[in-house]
Structure 1
Amino acid sequence: MTSTKQVALVTGATSGIGKAAAIALAAAGFEVIGTGRSTAHATPPAGVTFLDLDVTSDESVAAAVKQVIDRFGQIDVLVNNAGVGSTGAAEEFSITQTQDIFDINVYGVIRMTKAVLPHMRARRHGRIINVSSLSGFVPSPFMSVYVSTKHAVEGYAQSLDHEVREYGVRVLLVEPGPINTPFAGHSVEADTPMPLYAAGRRNYDELLAKNLSSGDEPAVVAKVIVAAATDRNPKLRRTAGTTARTINAVYRLAPPRAFDRVIRRFNRMPS
């Protein structure tokens, strides 16, 4: 079967940005398949089909991509949104825990990308949209592990885009700032906390909660994802949300020392 609509596969689509993206893509005319680790008790939005998928499993990824292609005949857009946050100083994370976070945020993106690329190359058509973060290009104290995963995704996506562009495939980045989602509640806390970082960690947790509660709604990011999926001449990277746009402008224009002061002030760090 070949769909008469373009087909979009969205990972991590049962809540937050992923759910908003699935809804927005369906409204834009896509056939949308949204995934989550366990979707049995989740009600899919109108125009969205839910599918179980674990991005840390090679077998699960291969099976899900095959199922979508067998049922709909094609995958035109992949939105790599599934991920997990982390809070705590870098020194407080064990290597095992760090590897687990990378397995979701980085290797999950790579698994999904490798699974759809042969299909997209064969059709000489496709877009892979990676939901990165403001933290994909700026530092964020007490989110070091999470930030490093987003920097890795940015480097992977930018490099891969050059490799596959001649085959009709684009690899793009969407970089949200603070978004009003349960991100903090779903973040992994460091497994070896240290007393010397306790005050900084508390300060960061308070700041994160404040920024998220006053952040943009997920629909703001979803609108940017739809633009990345549909624009005739797509931009490699797009910020999403007021804070991301502001920090991006400062990052591009401010001298390095001035930007360093901005980061410390923004994160309420000692001068």
Structure 2
Amino acid sequence: MGAFSFNYVVCGALLRPRNRPSLPAQYSLVPSRSIVENASPKSGSLVDGRDQDEEGNRAKFNFGHIVKNVRERFDAHILVEPLFVIISVVSTLEGMLFGMWHLYLIPQGVELGFGDSPSAFLATFGGAGSLLGRISHGFPIDRGLIKATSLFTISCLIFAASNMLNPLVVTSYIAIAAIAFVSGVAYGIIYPLMFVLMRDVTGDRHMSAYGWLFVTHGIGVLLGGALAGWIHDLTGEYQWVFVSLGVIAATVATLVTSMRLMVHCSGAN
């Protein structure tokens, strides 16, 4: 767990905002309510040809300011936007990947008879792969070699394929360790790019969207742990948990591809 936690620290140190001149004037695909509110008349304007009294203006301004702050903090209206709904589902499924993979990587090794210490090292292989993925994924994106969405989709497919191979290699510790490393690399790319996808959908104007991202991710972690435990209780084997991981990862890749097709068909960039 220490290795996984260290990955977040390194990832946070590497993340940086894009250069301001490179940002388009209208970055958000989901319009912000604050844009409309900024265009509304300012307090102190004439109403029915008469000036409001100073006390009434102050009271109205304070109430409007409170309402505006609440709207900006929660931005509940974006929950019905199609693109935001898709990215929220993607975040929930990504949280399920996180919970299921992290929780049952070591128990599978113990169940297969590899021993406690070798099984614990499976988490080390996964953590090393995750660290590599987090460190390396930014370079091809920054240099324009690949788009963030494409790299996210490819990583989901790699994660899906590596986990679906799990039932075929359960007799080999080296193969299980290699799969853990490859899955770690893929997930090390998937998690940080979730924030990039959210920014592509909502832009910088919806800071509360990142709060919703953590909410949906947390829900996914809870659901993933429960689902994986139920699958193991039903089948009696952990390899079907990893097959389920592959199916979920493939679903995530499909949803992200569908989201990009929606953006392309609507004429948005």
Same fold at TM > 0.5: no
Higher percent of residues as strand:
1
| Greater Rg over alpha carbons, structure | 2
Higher relative contact order (CA 8 A, sep 6+): 2
